Structure formats: structure tokens, C-alpha cells
């Protein structure tokens, strides 16, 4: 049994989430991520996580919520105030680079194992959706902005997984950036010409 001082972390749920994210970033996969492994890495008893998370999926939902907030920050930093379709290329590159540099976290965010009823995760997803709808509405006016935003997200998300899964070469960040910008530009051009 660990001493009370070894157990005390102040905010154990946040420590466990942060530790899980660190393990995902180190390993690039959630396959070996268990509550036991997270507890061991955080230096707490293997039963401690169960005081805050009902099971692995509850922890992964909390991790996914943090991932969505990190992704939103990366997208906003890529281009804080997009005004026209050409500005979307930088945001798309940031999205794909986030996926490539943090594959374990990205897969948890979009995997089916997370609890869709987790208020924190639902709020984070809604914030990303609102952000995407806002930038698409500002940069590509349409009678169906939700449809255009979903299509733009699907395009960039698909590119992210093509790179993640090795269907496209991700060994050069310059190649990734160039490819993503080219695909987004060509797709947006085709949309405006249609």
C-alpha cells in the first residue's frame, strides 16, 4: 500500500488524464492504455483511478475532451481570423499535423470507444463544430453552411487518416503541408466553379 503522500496529487482526475495523454503521445496508440497502466505511470494505486472514472472508456472520454480543446487551440493558432477560402489551407494543415504528431490522442478523440454522453466530451465536440461552422460561414458563404462545414471537415479528416494510416507519405512535413494545401485549394476551387 502506498503512503498517503505518494498518493496525493491535488487534482487526481486531471493528473490521470494528463498521464494518459502523455502515454498516448509516447506510444502513439491506445492499445496498451489501461487504467492500471495510467495509475502506475501516475504513481498511484491501481484502484485510485476507479474513484474518478468508472472504467477505461470514461477516462478516454475525458482524454478526448482535452484533445478536442488542444486541437481547437492548434487550429485557431494556425490562422486566428480566416477571411477567405485560401486561409482555410493553413487551418487544414494544422489539423492534419495535429493528427500526425499526436496519433494516439487523435485516434482516441475520433474512436468509437468514448462515452458520447460525457458532458465534457460533448461540450468539446460542440465547440469544435461551432468553430468549423463559423470559419466556413465567414470564408465560404452558402445557403447550406452546415453541409459545407461537414464536407470541409470530412475532406481534411480523411486526409489526416490517409497520412496516419500510411496511405500518403507523412515523413516530410513540407510534403504534408503542400499536399493538404493543394487538395483543399483544388476542392474549394471546384466548389466555386460548380
Domains recognised in the chain with CATH numbers = 1-53 (1.10.10), 55-193 (1.10.357.10)
Residue 165 CB coordination number (10 Å):
10
CA-nearest of 93, 71, 91 to 178 is 93
C-alpha to C-alpha distance for 24 and 10, rounded to whole angstroms: 23
CA 179: distance to chain centroid?
20
Q: What radius of gyration do the chain's Cα atoms show?
A: 19
Query: Which pairs with CB-CB distance under 8 Å and at least 24 residues apart come from 145-149?
Result: 148/191
Please state which of the ranges 4-18, 31-45, 145-159, 168-182 shows the lowest mean pLDDT: 4-18
Residues with Cβ within 8 Å of 74's Cβ and at least 6 positions away in sequence, in order, are 94, 95, 97, 98
Task: Give residue 127's Cα distance to chain centre.
Answer: 12
Query: Mean of the per-residue pLDDT values for the chain?
Result: 89
Q: pLDDT band for position 113 (50/70/90)? A: low
Residue 29 confidence (pLDDT): 83
For residue 4, pLDDT over 70 is answered with no
pLDDT of residue 6: 45
Contact 62, 118 (CB under 8 A): yes
Mean pLDDT over residues 29-48, rounded? 90
Instruction: Provide the CA 56 distance to its chain's centre, in angstroms.
Output: 18
Question: Could you tell me the pTM of the whole model?
Answer: 0.89
Amino acid at each position: 500500500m502506498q503512503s498517503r503522500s505518494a498518493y496525493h496529487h491535488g487534482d487526481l482526475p486531471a493528473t490521470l488524464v494528463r498521464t494518459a495523454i502523455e502515454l498516448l503521445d509516447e506510444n502513439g496508440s491506445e492499445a496498451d492504455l489501461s487504467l492500471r497502466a495510467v495509475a502506475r505511470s501516475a504513481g498511484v494505486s491501481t484502484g485510485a483511478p476507479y474513484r474518478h472514472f468508472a472504467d477505461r472508456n470514461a477516462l478516454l472520454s475525458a482524454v478526448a475532451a482535452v484533445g478536442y480543446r488542444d486541437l481547437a487551440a492548434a487550429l485557431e493558432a494556425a490562422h486566428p481570423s480566416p477571411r477567405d477560402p485560401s486561409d482555410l489551407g493553413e487551418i487544414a494543415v494544422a489539423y492534419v499535423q495535429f493528427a500526425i504528431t499526436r496519433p494516439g490522442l487523435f485516434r482516441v478523440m475520433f474512436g468509437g470507444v468514448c462515452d458520447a454522453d460525457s458532458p465534457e466530451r460533448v461540450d468539446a465536440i460542440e465547440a469544435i463544430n461551432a468553430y468549423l461552422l463559423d470559419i466556413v460561414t465567414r470564408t465560404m458563404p452558402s445557403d447550406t453552411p452546415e453541409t459545407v462545414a461537414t464536407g470541409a471537415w470530412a475532406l481534411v479528416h480523411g486526409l489526416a487518416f490517409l497520412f496516419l494510416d500510411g496511405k500518403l507519405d507523412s515523413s516530410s512535413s513540407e510534403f504534408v503541408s503542400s499536399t493538404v494545401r493543394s487538395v483543399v485549394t483544388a476542392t474549394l476551387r471546384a466548389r466555386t466553379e460548380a
